[in-house]
Chain A
Amino acid sequence: GAVVSQHPSWVICKSGTSVKIECRSLDFQATTMFWYRQFPKQSLMLMATSNEGSKATYEQGVEKDKFLINHASLTLSTLTVTSAHPEDSSFYICSARDNREGHETQYFGPGTRLLVL
């Protein structure tokens, strides 16, 4: 199978601090990873597409200076929420694109729950 991990699984921080979330593909290489945000009882909202070795592509309305994305290797992408505020509290989920069999599939991490006080 294809396993994607996220760390941390949950984090509580004070307003104004920065939080880094890691997303790793454990048994395959992922040139492309995606970052989503999910509000309670709602579907996933794509925030940005992270490409290894290049700048991330952000969706309309997502502040790139607020949500910094780095994809430094084929198995790791990081999302940093800078100067977090209570409205940034959410469930953040990453996914990694698996092209090994030529299928357009994404495998998701378990998510990171962020609470900003």
Chain B
Amino acid sequence: QKEVEQDPGPLSVPEGAIVSLNCTYSNSAFQYFMWYRQYSRKGPELLMYTYSSGNKEDGRFTAQVDKSSKYISLFIRDSQPSDSATYLCAMSVVQGAQKLVFGQGTRLTINP
């Protein structure tokens, strides 16, 4: 079993739809949670990071963490074609560990 599971998709939705991207994890020591967006042939771009359970909002993006269920989500409202990319969840332990553990990434396409 992988430490972090993420549905690779692909996921295709119409423009304006609400998108939900999810990851589950097995290591309860994970405390920091991140979402990265990666366009084709580019490096990942940090979108959101959280370190507690609950919701964090930034513009059209909302990150949600449920530590009791070991489940994190990223919601995209009013999706745009420019949101088409691969979305990677990543997480790390608070102290000592310096490594990020990534999910497989979900390929998202927003259709105009």
Contacts and interface: CB of A to CB of B under 8 A. Distances in A.
A43 B46 contact: no
Chain B interface size range: 20 to 34
A100 interface: no
A10 B105 CA distance: 23
Interface centre among B36, B92, B100, B104 (most CB of A within 10 A): B100
Nearest to B102: A43
Contact of B94 (A43, A104, A106): A104
Closest 3 CB pairs of A and B: A108-B43, A104-B32, A111-B43
Interface in A97-117: 97, 103-111, 113
Main secondary structure of the interface of A (DSSP, over half): strand
B9 to A, nearest CB: 11
Interface residues of A, number: 24
B44 A108 contact: yes
A70 to B, nearest CB: 18
Q: Which of B94, B99, B103 has the most CB of A within 10 A?
A: B99
Contact of A44 (B44, B46, B107): B44
A32 B98 contact: yes
Contacts, number: 57
Given A32-B98, A43-B88, A49-B98, A105 B49 contact: yes
B88 A49 contact: no
Contacts of B100: 34, 46, 95, 106
B58 to A, nearest CB: 13
A4 B102 CA distance: 19
B75 interface: no
Contact of A108 (B45, B92, B104): B45
A41 B92 CA distance: 23
Q: Give the most central of A42, A43, A44, A91: most B CB within 10 Å.
A: A43
